[in-house]
Structure 1
Amino acid sequence: MKTALQKLRRGLNTKLGFFLLVVLLFCIKSYWAYQNEFNLGVKGSMQHFLLAFNTIPGALVFLGIALYFRGRLSYWLMLIINALLSTWLFSNILYYREFSDFITFNVIKGSGAASNNLGKSLMGIIRPEDFLVYADVIILALVLLFHLIRVDMRRFKIRYAMTVTALGFVLFGANLGMAESDRSQLLTRTFDNNYIVKYLGLQAYTIYDGVKTTHNSVVKARADQDQLKPVLNFIHHNYAGPNVQYEGVAKGKNIFVIHLESLQQFMIDYKQDGQEVMPNLNKLYHANDTLAFDNFFHQVGQGKTADAEMMLENSLYGLPEGSAMVTDGTTNTFQSAPALLHQKLGYTTASFHGDVPSFWNRDNAYKSFGYQYFFSKEYYPKTKDYDAGYGMKDKIFMKESAHYIEQLPQPFYAKLITVTNHYPYILDKQNKDIQPWNTGDDTVDPYVQTARYLDESLGEFLDYLDKSGLRQNSVLILYGDHYGISNNHQPAIAQILHKKKVTNYDLAMFQKVPFMINMPGLKGGIDHTYGGEIDVLPTIEDLLGISSKNYIQFGQDLLSPERNQIVPFRNGDWVTPKYTKYNGDYYYTKNGKQITKATAKQKKEFSKIQKYVTTDLGLSDRVVNGDLLRFYKLPGFKKVDKKDYTYNLKKSLRNLQDAQKKQKTSLKTKNNNQTTIDDYSTDAPELKDYPKLNFPKP
């Protein structure tokens, strides 16, 4: 034992030994912070291993800089670098505690509101244990000052220092490879900064954010007002005027946008063993006062849900790679639905989502969109087993959202994002009311169970709207955001669709998602027009009597008799009522027959459609990548200032209280300040032991 201690001390008295000690202590404290100060959602042995492993490469590279210097300077540089990295860690701990996200260069450069809010409440944020990130720096400094470890004055060879640096990069490569195996497209399909930190560590996240910010800044810096000319020409040339039969029929009504996670159109009227899987949605779909669209397609790319939201709120496409809400949601100028409705019609605007606010960068992008309120996971009471996969279970989420819905001054625009019907379709036994499919594909089979659960959640919510009286003065807009079953599961898809095998035409039609508009007194029916998510906002605007003729929006009103019915997919494929192009094959849309030998006339038609699709997507990308809306003065619209918005829990709840007192139009205020939550009935088993839920207070 004594000999071992002597060897250890001799080792620590060398520069390499002291360096390894610094690296070890830095990695330990980083891992401690990841586990205790951040909510990274680490699951499974691989993720736990990577969380510990990813602390090593950055430590070797950054602390290893000191090895290139001589004598005492080398030792003190190790401590200085350690202190700087610790300060960055400390800053992120404080920022995360307030905003549930990590600091970005965009936040440092231009997000004064976040920095100011953090500074004002700093003393209320700091906890004594936060300073533990400096413990190793202090201990090592004392060890050197009191000569408990001697400074090795011998020169550390440059090639050895370079070996340490190279080892750091090699280990990072290994880290990235393992991370990609567990989470594919980690860096190209980034929807939450938590994932980058979880898999690659805080240092790698910071460098990644820096590179991404620099690239975006270069593109934006080169942009100018002249780049708007082709955009405006294209939009004005392809503008489709409103349908006079529907123009303004929803004016003054509340708007509920219900986001049906991963729900595909084929589930409408779908039966399993003679039983309707989604009876509530089917009833709504076929109601006399519902406009239902049976040729409505999702148009998302890698951004999936975020792309759907981008199109819904802005009528701008997501980007070819990654998520525009993540890449540009914090810094870009937008002329979005929440801001437009608030400024032009006095709507209260709110989004509801039962997950962390940083997911898809919503906590920042929603401010850019002009959402007054964002009710994320922290706004809801925590009950036993209330969470599944990507957030709160839908039945619990929908019921508890009613607590805030009844407080919103009317008219309001409220978007509710469900999550339970999200891959990998996790649902506990007590909530399963239907048997899974038996396709032999374990990934696909439970989809039908979570879809049924989503339908039951929707039924309970609609029942509440009827009982509370909200339904009579509201428009319901329901849409599926993207596919739930990917094209990688073709044998299972064939079984589900009762086909022997699926073609590219079948896969193209499989991209249909539900879209319906319900309002008491609306002249409904099933509309066969071809459209997609890019068309939702212009449709809503015309229903509300807002002319979108001068807006930079790439969709067309779905009800307009002038629309061209060309539906671009994000990858450049497309569908029209006559032809479909998918994965390089061409088909007749009506019957699915493949066109193997196109005529000269058909080739000309294909070329014309493709030119429109390419131009449409390309110009939208130019608007987003260049932040071109900052150059566009929309008459009667004031540019959104993110400083005007806060999603801090207590501040938001106080703002909601003040708004109710000022406007006196909320459902609760009109009900003599009595809650309507008793009208909400749910069979969610998780809520049986919670007769009264304790919501956060301002």
Structure 2
Amino acid sequence: MTNYKKSIALFLKRFFLIILIYQLSRFLFFFMNLNLFENFTFQTFLGGLIFDIAAIAYINTIFLIAHLIPGNFKYSPTYQKYLKISFYVVNLIFIATNFIDIIYYRFTGRRSTFGMITAKGMEHEAIGLIPSFLKEFWYIGLAFIIISFLFWKLIPNLNKNLVHQKLTRKDYYIKYSYLVLSIVIILIAGRGGFRKKPLKIVDGIKYGALSNTALVLNTPFTILKTITKKEDIDKVKYFDNKELESIYNPVISLKPKGATIKKNVVILILESFGNENIVRGQTPFLDSLITKSYYFKNGFANGKVSIDAVPSILSSIPSLMNNSFISSSYSLNKINGLPKIFKKEGYNTSFFHGAFNGSQNFDQYAKVAGFDHYFGKDQYTGKEAFDGRWGIFDEEFLQFYATKLSSFKQPFFSSLFTISSHNPYIIPDKYKGKFPKGTTDIQESIAYTDYALREFFKTAKKQSWYKNTLFVLSSDHTSSGGDKDIDKTNIGKFRIPILFFDPSNPKLTGVNEKNFQQIDIMPSILDYLNIKTDMVSFGKSYKSKQNFVVYYLQGTYHYIKDNYYLAFANNQTIGLYDWKKDVLLKDNLIKKDPSKVKEYEKFLKAYIQSFNERVTTNKLAI
């Protein structure tokens, strides 16, 4: 075998070694999150292999060139040493992202993207949370160290017994032709083989059940696919403007007949209070409050991470792209959410978040949204209550909140985002053993925040503003997992409690069975208070006859109307289910009910086109 052929063989051995490691990390990903996926099938393995080869091909194209570039210089020990080290380091960094997502997936429900790991504010969170993650999930770190060691030991080396040959011009021509051919082959592998369009994140759906998409994908691929995409919004043109408006128009005009009701409005956004955590013994106060409120039984989040919830709830902007709106380049778009609308009505406006300033970029968004005041960890005053990681314990911060509300001129509009039921789920030492542990890691901290809510309302009841206040409570998203199969479906992953509580209005009670989402909160509040306004809202008022919900997760749009749920990806419907009868989404009705598929597709396409056009052209406000 010539030296050049040995270089080709060396690269192929190294390439296949990385494929093996990627497959190993996928099996770890599956077994560590067994309750979140359906069965691991051969199709899942095959699809995963295709995505692994694509990611590895992209990452290692430069190393292919370094291995195969003609010339005797590359056979020197020094060249080979640095080639091996750089090959190891670069690939190990990408392998590490697969291991990180073994745990991070439980919280986001999707593989990490470039936008997620580089979002402004994430660097602050990492400082506080990575140490606790490493402590809690030490076994993942240990597994990665073992893999890192084995990877280095198993990287083959170039045979030292090389016979140096003088290369002729013909030799160079032949070797360059090999190099060019190899680059073509690896680029074809990178695009997923011979296909019309390169492999995309959403193509993972083709190789398994909808809930198994993340298992088919790998994190290096999703990062690479989003590293150059500044926006994550595709330009679509399903309809001309006239037809689009006739199908769906997000402009809502509220023209109440009665006089404006100048009530204070308080929105409490509860960290990870998904349906899997309520009415199960962990939230006695919230459960009791639900019975005194107007409760949206079929409430849904419009995203899977905290950073998606704030624009959804406060500005009626859903999360329909892989990057969160707050961290995207569209975050400075003109928006006309609740803060600005209430400000025109003479309200004092404020936003509270007990974490360090800069967390989740909420402070910047508060400015863009038009809040008068932002209160974070830096603005907190009171007894020492730092949780040692990233913010103020909920009990003390909610008491601080009640005090600040009493200092504001009425009417006021204010929102607070709780933090204690966020990983690492720290509760004050004095409450250790006081609350039920529950069946999942998060539930003790859920019970603590529920207690903090109870204490907040005890204090609030004593204030002069209490009876003249509308309280809205909503979870930001579901938690990392529930203990029932229904919690793990693509419906269950987004089910959250949403309720309106007005202590002065006994008529605003009962259970609403209609489908209701976070982006419906804004128009519903304004409608309830008889505020006259025109706005862009991708939701609808609770008084509306419409009964839909739309959310999105890594390439798949989810649409719920009445009793049906439709999944839409790659420009086509991939699932239709009667989600109230078929709670585990086992019976796909695509072929059984094509007329419903066509009807739902038409609306969803109009919804997507309207959202994409308004975001990209900065038309989120009238």
Tell whether the structures are fold-level matches, with TM greater than 0.5.
Answer: yes
Looking at structure 1, the residues matched to 232 and 240 of structure 2 have their Cα atoms a distance apart, in angstroms, of 15
* Change beyond 3 A, Cα 1:544–1:378: same
Aligned to 1:615: 606
Structure 1 residue ranges, 4+ long, deviating more than 6 angstroms after superposition: 160-170, 197-200, 211-214, 217-220, 226-231, 238-244, 247-250
Sort the Cα spacing of 1:378 and 1:296 in 2 relative to 1 into closer, same or farther, 3 A. Answer: same
Q: Deviations over 1:451-480 (max 9, x none)?
A: 111111111111111111221111100001
Question: Is structure 2 residue 563 aligned with structure 1 residue 578?
Answer: yes
**Structure 1, residues 616-652: CA drift from partner, whole Å, max 9, x if none?**
234323322x14228x6x3xxxxxxxxxxxxxxxxxx
1:552-567 superposed matches below 5 A = 552-560=536-544, 562-567=545-550
**Distance across 2 between alignment mates of 1:461 and 1:332:** 35
Change (3 A) 1:312 1:232: farther
* Whole-angstrom distance in 1 between the partners of 2:501 and 2:487: 33
Are 1:589 and 2:579 an aligned pair?
A: yes
Residue 421 of structure 1: aligned partner: 421
Letter in 1 for 2:328: T
**Which runs of structure 2 are paired with 1:171-186 in the superposition (5 Å)?**
171=89, 174-175=92-93, 177-178=95-96, 181-182=99-100, 185=112
Q: Match of 2:284, as an amino acid?
A: P
Match of residue 268 from structure 2: 258
Per the alignment, residue 296 of structure 1 pairs with 299
Counterpart for residue 115 of structure 2:
188
**Could you tell me how far apart the structure 2 residues matched to 1:218 and 1:452 are?**
37
Once the two structures are TM-superposed, the CA of residue 430 in structure 1 deviates from its matched residue by 2.5
User: Do the aligned partners of residues 357 and 385 (structure 1) sit closer, same or farther apart at CA in structure 2, a change above 3 Å counting?
Assistant: closer
Q: What CA deviation, in whole Å up to 9, does each residue of 1:416-469 have, x standing for no partner?
A: 1101112342335432422313x5xxxx2x322111111111111111111112
Partners of 2:280 and 2:321 in 1: CA distance? 33
Identity of aligned residues (%): 19
- Pairs within 5 Å for 1:15-26: none
In structure 1, the residue matched to 2:483 is: 493
Paired letter, 1:296 = G
- 1:506 deviates by 5.2
Deviation at 1:182, TM superposition (A): 3.7
Q: What does residue range 147-186 of structure 1 map to in structure 2 within 5 Å? A: 171=89, 174-175=92-93, 177-178=95-96, 181-182=99-100, 185=112
Which amino acid letter does the alignment assign opposite residue 579 of structure 2? T
How far apart are residue 481 of structure 1 and its match? 0.9
1:602 matched residue in structure 2: 593
Q: Offset of 1:329 from its aligned partner?
A: 5.8
d(CA) in 1 for partners of 2:227 and 2:447? 42
Aligned amino acid, residue 548 of structure 2: Q
Question: Which residue number in structure 1 is paired with residue 309 of structure 2?
Answer: 308
Residue identity opposite 1:281 in structure 2: L
Residues 199 and 598 of structure 1, relative CA distance in 2, 3 Å threshold? closer
State whether residues 311 and 317 of structure 2, in contact with CA within 8 Å, keep that contact through their aligned partners in structure 1: yes
Confirm whether residue 435 of structure 1 aligns to residue 436 of structure 2.
yes
1:132 is aligned to none
Partner residue, 1:530: 515
CA separation of 1:241/1:526 partners in 2, compared to 1, >3 Å: closer, same or farther? farther
Q: After TM superposition, list the pairs within 5 Å mapping 1:625-644 onto structure 2.
A: 626-629=616-619, 634=622
Closer, same or farther: CA 569–250 of 1 in aligned 2, 3 Å: farther
**3-state SS of the aligned residue for 1:530?**
strand
Q: 2: CA distance between counterparts of 1:430 and 1:256?
A: 29
Change beyond 3 A, Cα 1:199–1:422: closer
CA-CA distance at 1:324 after TM superposition: 1.1
Q: Which residue of 1 aligns with 2:401?
A: 401
Change (3 A) 1:553 1:355: same
State whether residues 248 and 606 of structure 2, in contact with CA within 8 Å, keep that contact through their aligned partners in structure 1: no
Give how far 1:168 is off. 7.6
CA distance in 1, matches of 2:575, 2:590: 15
Give the structure 2 partner of residue 206 of structure 1. none
**What displacement does 1:315 show?**
1.3
Match of residue 391 from structure 2: 391
In terms of mean alpha carbon deviation, does 257-266 or 355-364 score higher?
Answer: 355-364
Q: Which position in structure 1 is the counterpart of 2:524? A: 539
CA distance in 1, matches of 2:288, 2:511: 13
Hey, what's the Cα distance between the residues in 2 that align with 1:229 and 1:190? 39
TM-score by length of 2: 0.60
Structure 1 unaligned blocks of 5 or more: 1-159, 201-210, 272-276, 487-491, 495-501, 635-698
Is 311-320 or 450-459 further displaced after alignment? 311-320
Contact 1:261 1:420 in 2 (8 A): yes
Aligned counterparts of 1:228 and 1:170: Cα–Cα separation in 2:
53
Give 1:181's aligned amino acid: F
Map of 1:463 onto structure 2: 458
Amino acid of the structure 2 residue aligned with 1:189: M
Determine if the alignment matches structure 1 residue 279 to structure 2 residue 263: no
* Match in the other structure for 1:154: none
Which whole-Å CA distance do the structure 2 matches of 1:216 and 1:186 have between them?
12
Distance 2:320 2:411 in 1: 33
Show the 5 A alignment for 1:116-135: none
Q: So what's the TM-score if we normalise by structure 1? A: 0.54
| 2:182 counterpart residue number | none
Q: Does 1:516 align with 2:499?
A: yes
Going from structure 1 to structure 2, the CA distance change for 1:268 and 1:597 (only over 3 Å counts) comes to: closer
Task: Specify the alignment match of 2:319 in structure 1.
Answer: 318
Superposed displacement of residue 320, structure 1: 2.2
Instruction: Name the SS for the 1:483 alignment partner.
Output: coil
| Residue 559 of structure 1, CA deviation | 2.5
Instruction: Report if aligned partners of 2:356, 2:378 keep a CA contact under 8 Å in 1.
Output: yes
The verdict on how the C-alpha distance between 1:169 and 1:219 changes in structure 2, with shifts beyond 3 A counting, is: farther
Compute the displacement of 1:503 (Å). Answer: 5.8
Instruction: Report the Cα offset of residue 397 of structure 1.
Output: 0.9
Counterparts of 1:197 and 1:597 in 2: how far apart (Å)?
A: 44
* C-alpha spacing 1:388/1:219, structure 2 compared with 1 (3 Å): same
User: C-alpha distance in 1, partners of 2:493/2:231?
Assistant: 38
The answer to whether the 8 A contact 2:276-2:487 is kept is no
Task: Give the Cα separation in 1 of the matches to 2:96 and 2:274.
Answer: 32
Where does residue 471 of structure 2 map in the other structure? 476
Provide the rounded CA distance (Å) in 2 between the counterparts of 1:217 and 1:577: 32
Tell me how far apart the structure 2 counterparts of residues 431 and 628 of structure 1 sit (CA, whole Å). 48
Q: CA deviation at 1:578?
A: 2.0
Q: How far is 1:566 from its partner?
A: 4.2
Match of 1:380 in 2: 380
Q: Which residue of 1 aligns with 2:185?
A: none
Gap runs ≥5 in structure 2: 1-77, 105-111, 128-224, 569-573
Give the Å deviation of 1:296.
Answer: 0.7
Number of equivalent positions: 429
Q: Kindly indicate whether the alpha-carbon contact (under 8 Å) linking 1:248 and 1:546 is maintained by their aligned counterparts in 2.
A: no
Task: Name the aligned partner's letter for residue 302 of structure 2.
Answer: Q
Classify 1:243/1:564 alpha carbon distance in 2 versus 1 (closer, same or farther; 3 Å): farther
| Structure 1 residues 348 and 180: alpha-carbon distance in aligned structure 2, compared to 1, 3 A threshold | farther
User: Who is 1:61 aligned against?
Assistant: none
Alpha carbons of structure 1 residues 619 and 212: separation in structure 2 relative to 1, 3 Å: same
Check the 8 A contact 1:505/1:582 in 2, yes or no.
no
Aligned residue identity for 1:299: N
Q: 1:34-183, aligned counterparts within 5 Å?
A: 171=89, 174-175=92-93, 177-178=95-96, 181-182=99-100
Instruction: Output the CA distance in 2 between the equivalents of 1:326 and 1:425.
Output: 25
Instruction: Judging by fraction of residues, say which structure has more strand.
Output: 2
Would the aligned equivalents of 2:351 and 2:374 in 1 still touch at CA under 8 Å? yes
Indicate conservation of the 8 Å contact 1:505/1:592, yes or no. no
